[in-house]
Structure 1
């Protein structure tokens, strides 16, 4: 019979307490070796949770405009979901500039989202290589002055497999890295400094678990706030959402990770058929953006003995117990909580996160919940300035907002239906656009209410959309200063190719096609109608190569030069307008970003 992990947890805890009846302070941490030897697990006998075992200087690559920092890799003692001692690696990054907020520099535990099961996917290794897709968020936290602590999560040491989504282990590893960081010689991190935790998706799970565990597991941590976004709080609901959907790879990784943490209760080798075992072996070699497309929209029954379906697997008592043990909401979080979610999230359903908010509110946790209009990836990065603003207020001692008593209706999902292509919908994204007219040497600025609506089909690698630009008046010097009423419309759909590679780099190559019309010109209300327009469509190349984080962090920017065709229909002034407003060398700058969130 498959054993109960709760019973095992109790027995392991008792064994540990008998083996080490009186924990003593760990020996001083040692300088760790270079290369991958750093990831060899060290013995933890005599060490207590949060003890730093070894450290070394590290280099992190976070992109352009990164502030000057010092960084260290760390290995520290923590505790897994079964209350057994384990070792966890991570990265500690500290700005070299002085903290200007008064008092000790605050620390921010950054809980990463899904990175993948291969060891090379570990955040500490990706930060060193400059390939971590969350670098923008980490850099923003450093720019705000925080010491940033990034746990790899358990299982990235040599020879191990990550216990992916084992919530208790992740939460405890996050809490322990604060104490470990304070033991790095010369890092200047105080164990009494104000602390906050920020995470999204898997990281949102980690952050919320850390909040629920904090009172018993790390009572001395000076925690002032937790931000947890895109959080999987109800695991059966999330599992059924991922089944046969674009996020099916996360379900596979969850089975592998929980099987590693609870091998007796979720015996993966017994449940998987030969095809499933091959899939698991492949999953252990991939990072998140590689694995994303491996089993998209497939059923877990394809990979199980006797083709057991997901409901049949969840009906196995020990499997059900293991899965439900990852659920959140059973305890009050003792500090203010900022929850956020994408209304169009196609990976983690917003409804179960709304339910989690109600559970926390019912336990008198002070909660603010923001709803972003976009899907999973976009929301992760669009939320960053809102998260850092909220955390900054908590560090400053400002009173925390509370939306527990909101009378607003629960946000309903606007996600694209599951089971199809992976489509990121840009629904009325704000378009900031300026065009420098070559011969006039003047800039035309499109109205602030201009938008782009498009479907970016990552599976089909196609992009199609339309610009919506209201008619507007622009002051232009055409022989003399005139108020020119202009119309910029989509002459045909904006089209192109879009792809996402295994390193999380987004590639866009397309064109926005517009018709430009001079409706009238004159002085104020005195306007002479013209109705002349470009004889052919104007093609604005939209080319982008950069991290997927740019979808939400500042939006997508496109710039370059294009050529305007001759104008026609201007009557006696056709030649004048054509001379002054057509031809090559028209310089444009476009930026599109998602709409603002709302508080629920």
Structure 2
């Protein structure tokens, strides 16, 4: 066997790890950070397991996790050169309820950052990975879940961020590596799928295009790709000087690592650019996101060359467009999904990717969410997992290729200013527990909140909308009561997103409570009661940004209803409704997706 050819950037080897060993042998790796030091190895095939170890991962309480492993395995970069990749293997504690072998899902993460501490395997151990919510949901289904770190998180290396084929190779080879872990119970012949969003969406789509040639032995039944950067020049132009400018800088760093001769970043970068690159390499997503927001690429280049000038250099243009998606590939069902308010990756180029796939085959499903980039990542999870269940069950996918629906249009906030997340008529699943009556009143289903959350200046302003509704209340006898919750002024709050991806909201809104009628459904009696002072509802929350998606943000607490003015029934209604200790529970969730 020939010696494994390591790139120069991965040659920070530990002298204690230089003993060669056979590729197929199941070798337990060292503890601690020594696991990430690349040993001198002999391997023969892509996906060869170099070593593994049992891992302690923090997915939060109640995760359906039986066992976890770290793996190091052989893969291939975008130029066909052999490399070494690490990752995490998660085994569900739930039984697979379908027929046949437990399915295996390669979950391709989105942007995490270039520092080694940003690697998914390390963040999963620390309990700081922002995509944990989706991993938990996949484990709940009973899948085995594989999470590649992609190339570059071994000691001394820099990730080849956004190099599409390299990422896809890593996501495919981890199937092979995981199947070699002793007693892990992962079958290389089991049905498999790939799911990813943003950078992970790019990875998943590339998997669909190369899997037949690169890993023909896999039973790949589906590819779910969301928030996908499919046309790199278009996406780069969208990011340049905008709220997502940090991702463009990261992409230049990652692609120059993969193609150093064609994108000579040391020659292109000015002194300011070199300082920015050195700083960027030491940060994770929610650190650099704000530090480089709205910066133009020209601020980092010699002679202040902007993106358009750089793309006129043939070698740079070639390597950027090499990442574009839509070419020939596997005839495997594909789910594409995107948010209309995506402020980082424009939805128009996602529609063009759908059209390109539909020209080739008709197994393309497309879903649209009324949300921005990060919210769509989590909001889509239940729909994606249902789609994956159907693929593992062998069902035919819903076909969006012949849909007569109009293509969705972007309603993203304009770039170049503050980072604003707009909530447009988000659903408020709300209930009030009346203390004296000891009864719960549910607000109508079409109760909504519309708001702008300005992450830059840490403010949130919005409006509560509650349609008039009826509730059944036992007031001596069971009565049908017509109620109104009348907002007073705007929702006012401060909102912060920490550098660990933790969202905090502190604010309040006020509303008057009105009793319009009380009686029987066939004989309503008008009362025109209203509280003399509005009630205050505190809206306080702290938790992972993932809650902005499908799980919903929950505001809960107690308020006081002031006395009511009800004419001759004032004394009775005040004794039953007014006073402190009125409990409320509001769950804020995004609107449902549209389907093409």
Query: Which bin holds the TM-score, normalised by the shorter protein?
Result: over 0.9
User: Residue in 2 aligned with 1:252?
Assistant: 249
Following superposition, the deviation at residue 97 of structure 1 comes to 4.1
Measured at CA, do residues 25 and 106 of structure 1 come closer, stay the same or move farther in structure 2, by a change above 3 Å? farther
Given the alignment of the two structures, is residue 559 of structure 1 paired with residue 556 of structure 2, yes or no?
yes
CA distance in 1, matches of 2:65, 2:416: 45
- Establish whether residue 596 from structure 1 lines up as the match of residue 592 from structure 2: yes
Q: Structure 1 residue 571 and structure 2 residue 545: aligned?
A: no
Return the alpha-carbon distance in structure 2 between the equivalents of residues 261 and 152 of structure 1. 16
SS in structure 1 at match of 2:111? coil
In 1, the alpha carbon distance for the partners of 2:65 and 2:286 equals 29
Query: How far apart are residue 575 of structure 1 and its match?
Result: 2.2
**Is the 1:513–1:540 contact (alpha carbons within 8 Å) kept by the matching residues of 2?**
yes
Does residue 280 in structure 1 map to residue 277 in structure 2?
Answer: yes
Are the equivalent residues in 2 in contact too, given 1:435–1:588 (CA < 8 A)? yes
Q: Deviations over 1:496-540 (max 9, x none)?
A: 111111111110111121111111212224222222211122111
Q: Separation in 1 of the partners of 2:98 and 2:192?
A: 14
- Correspondence list, 1:163-242, <5 A: 163-242=160-239
**Cα shift readout 1:104-145 (whole Å, capped 9, x = no counterpart):** 111000000000111101000000111100001001100100
Verify: 1:101 aligned to 2:101, yes or no: no
Deviation at 1:87, TM superposition (A): 0.3
Determine if contact 1:147/1:189 at 8 Å carries over to the other structure. Answer: yes
Deviation, structure 1 residue 480: 2.7
The alpha carbon displacement at 1:313 in A equals 1.0
CA contact (8 A) 1:564 1:586 kept: yes
In 2: Cα distance, 1:350 partner to 1:44 partner: 44
The residue correspondences of 1:114-129 to structure 2 (distance < 5 A) are: 114-129=111-126
For 2:556 and 2:43, the matched residues in 1 are separated by: 59
Structure 2 unaligned residues grouped into runs of 5+: 1-6, 8-20
TM-score (norm 2): 0.95
Matches of 2:281 and 2:103 in 1, distance apart?
36
User: Does residue 157 in structure 1 map to residue 154 in structure 2?
Assistant: yes
Aligned length: 577
Aligned to 2:455: 458
Q: Which has the larger displacement, 471-480 or 209-218?
A: 471-480
Does the Cα contact within 8 Å between 2:96 and 2:141 map onto a contact in 1? no
Match of 2:36 among 27, 36, 39: 39
Name whichever of 74-83 and 360-369 sits farther off: 360-369
Q: 1:344 aligns with which of 341, 359, 363?
A: 341
Partner of 2:60: 63
Retained in 2: the 8 A contact 1:508–1:544? Answer: yes
Quick check: 1:337–1:366 contact (8 Å CA) kept in 2? yes
State whether structure 2 residue 441 is matched by structure 1 residue 448.
Answer: no
Look up the SS of the partner of 1:66 in the other structure. coil
- Secondary structure at the aligned position of 2:441 is classed as strand
Query: By how many angstroms is 1:435 displaced?
Result: 0.4
Q: Give SS of 2:34's match.
A: helix
Deviations 1:35-70 (A, max 9, x none): 111001133543310100000000111112201320
Q: Distance in 2 between matches of 1:564 and 1:98?
A: 49
Q: Greater shift after overlay, 63-72 or 391-400?
A: 63-72
Task: Report what 2:84 is aligned to.
Answer: 87
Q: Describe the shift of the 1:40–1:518 C-alpha distance in structure 2 as closer, same or farther (beyond 3 A).
A: same
The CA deviation string for residues 228-285 of structure 1, in whole angstroms up to 9 with x for no partner, is: 0000000000000001111011001001101111111111111111111111111111
Report whether the alignment pairs 1:521 with 2:515. Answer: no
Moved more, 325-334 or 93-102: 93-102
Match of 1:295? 292
Q: Closer, same or farther in 2 for the Cα pair 1:478/1:99, shift >3 Å?
A: closer
Aligned 8 A contact 2:422 2:453 in 1: yes
Describe the SS at the equivalent of 1:540.
strand
Could you report, residue by residue, the CA deviation over 1:78-105 in whole angstroms, capped at 9, with x for unpaired residues?
0001110000000001123443322211
Unaligned runs of 5+ in 1: 1-11, 13-23
Does structure 1 residue 585 correspond to structure 2 residue 581? yes
RMSD: 1.4
Paired with 1:489 and 1:320, the residues of 2 have a C-alpha distance of 57
Task: For residue 486 of structure 1, give the secondary structure of its aligned residue in structure 2.
Answer: strand
- Higher mean alpha-carbon deviation, 400-409 vs 573-582, is at 573-582
Q: Compare 225-234 and 35-44 and name the one that shifted more.
A: 35-44
Q: Could you report, residue by residue, the CA deviation over 1:159-187 in whole angstroms, capped at 9, with x for unpaired residues?
A: 10111000010001111000000000110
CA gap of 1:577–1:115, structure 2 versus 1, over 3 A, is same
Match of 2:4 in 1: none
Is the contact made by 1:244 and 1:299 (CA closer than 8 Å) also made in structure 2?
yes
Asked if the contact 1:343–1:371 (Cα under 8 Å) also holds between the matched residues in 2, the reply is: yes
Distance 1:469 1:100 in 2: 41
* C-alpha separation in 2, matches of 1:330 and 1:478: 67
Summarize the Cα distance change of 1:44–1:364 in structure 2 as closer, same or farther, 3 Å threshold. Answer: farther
- Please give the alpha-carbon distance, in whole angstroms, between the structure 1 residues aligned to 2:139 and 2:110: 18
Matching residue within 361, 364, 371 for 1:364: 361
Q: Which of 530, 537, 546 is the aligned partner of 1:549?
A: 546
Residue 25 of structure 1: how far off its partner (Å): 7.9
The aligned residue for residue 6 of structure 1 is: none
Query: Is 1:510 paired with 2:510?
Result: no
1:480 matched to 2:477? The reply is yes
Q: Deviations over 1:369-391 (max 9, x none)?
A: 00011111111001101011001
Match of 2:473, SS state, is strand
